[in-house]
Structure 1
Amino acid sequence: MDQLRLRAAEPHEAAAITELARRSKAYWGYSREFLDRVREDLTVHAHQIRAGNVVVAEDGTTLLGYYRLGGAPPDGELADLFVDPGAIGTGLGRRLWDHAVGQARERGFRSLELEADPNAEPFYLHVGATKTGERQVASGRTLPVLRVDLR
C-alpha cells in the first residue's frame, strides 16, 4: 500500500465498489445464497456517490476499501465500511474509520450510528464505538447497533 490515497468516489465506480462490498462480506464465510439475499444492502448506487457520501481507498489504480456516510446533522450514520479481503489486517480499516470520523465532524455530526456485521463488531468496539443495542434487519438477521460520540 505504498501509494494509498483516500478520495471521493466517482459515479462510474458504483459497480466496482459494490463488488468490493460483496467480496469483503464473502470473506467471512457467508454463502452465495445469503450474499444474493443481501445484494441490495451491499449495492452502492451512483446517486449515493454523487451526493458526496462515498470515499474510496486506492493503491495506484486498485480499489482497496470504501466507506459511506448517511444521515444529516446532528446525528449521522456510517452506512458502509468495507475493506477488500487482501487488505484486511493491514490497518486500512482503521484509516477508513479515522477518515470517516473526521469527515463526519466536518459535516457537523455529533454522533455516528452503525449496524455492524457480527464479525466486524470487535473492530468497531476497538476503535471507540459502543454497543447501544441490536436491530432486526430485512435479511432476517439481528445485528449489533453501535454508536460513536464525535463531540
Structure 2
Amino acid sequence: MSEIRLRPAQPHEADAVTELSRRSKAHWGYSQEFLDRVRDILVVHPHQIRDDLVVVAERDSELLGFYRLDGKPPEGELADLFLEPAAIGTGLGRRLWEHALASAKAKGFESLDLEADPNAEPFYRHMGAVRTGEHEVSPGRSLPIMTVSL
C-alpha cells in the first residue's frame, strides 16, 4: 500500500469532494431526513476549489479526506475538514489539521474559526481549538464555534 499524499484539490474533483463530505457526515448516525436537509451545505463547488485553499489527502488516487480554508488574513476559517469514514481514527485527521494550520499561518492568518459538528468537537479541542460560542442552525440544534490561534 502506498503512502498518503496531501495535495491541492482540482476544480474537476468538486463532486468527489462533495460526496466524501456527505459520507463523512453520515458516519455519525444522523437520520436520512437530517442528511437530506444539510445536503446543500455539504457541497464543495469548483469555484471554491479555485478561490479557496482546498487540500485533499489521497492514497493510490483514492480521496481519503480534505480541508478547506476560507477568509482573508489575519482571520480565517477552517470551512471544512472531512474524512472518509474508514479513515476516521487513523491519524489522518490530525495530519490534515496540522497541514491546514501550517498553510494558514504561511498565508498570514493569525487565527482560524470553525463551526464544528458536535461529534467532532472533542477532536478539535484535543487539537488545541477553544470553544468561543455556538451558532443555532435550527431550533434545538446548535454548532460549537471554535477558534485556534496560529
TM-score per shorter chain, which class? over 0.9
Counterpart contact for 1:38–1:139, Cα < 8 Å: no
Normalised TM-score (structure 1): 0.95
Tell whether 2:42 aligns with 1:46.
no
62-71 or 1-10, which moves further after superposition? 1-10
Q: Which 5+ residue runs of structure 1 have no aligned equivalent?
A: none
Alpha-carbon distance between aligned partners in 1 of 2:69 and 2:85, rounded to the nearest angstrom: 21
Deviation at 1:57, TM superposition (A): 0.2
* Aligned residue-pair number: 150
- The equivalent of 2:80 in structure 1 is 80
Counterpart contact for 2:52–2:70, Cα < 8 Å: no
Moved over 2 A (4+): 137-141
- The equivalent of 2:135 in structure 1 is 135
- Report the identity percentage: 67
Counterpart contact for 1:7–1:55, Cα < 8 Å: yes
Q: Deviations over 1:73-120 (max 9, x none)?
A: 010000000000011110000000000000000110000000000000
85-94 or 47-56, which moves further after superposition? 47-56
Counterpart contact for 2:128–2:148, Cα < 8 Å: yes
Tell whether 2:21 aligns with 1:21.
yes
Deviation at 1:141, TM superposition (A): 2.3
RMSD: 1.3
Normalised TM-score (structure 2): 0.96
Counterpart contact for 1:8–1:52, Cα < 8 Å: no
Q: Which 5+ residue runs of structure 2 have no aligned equivalent?
A: none
3-state SS, counterpart of residue 54 of structure 1: strand
Tell whether 2:37 aligns with 1:69.
no
Counterpart contact for 1:66–1:83, Cα < 8 Å: yes
- The equivalent of 1:144 in structure 2 is 144
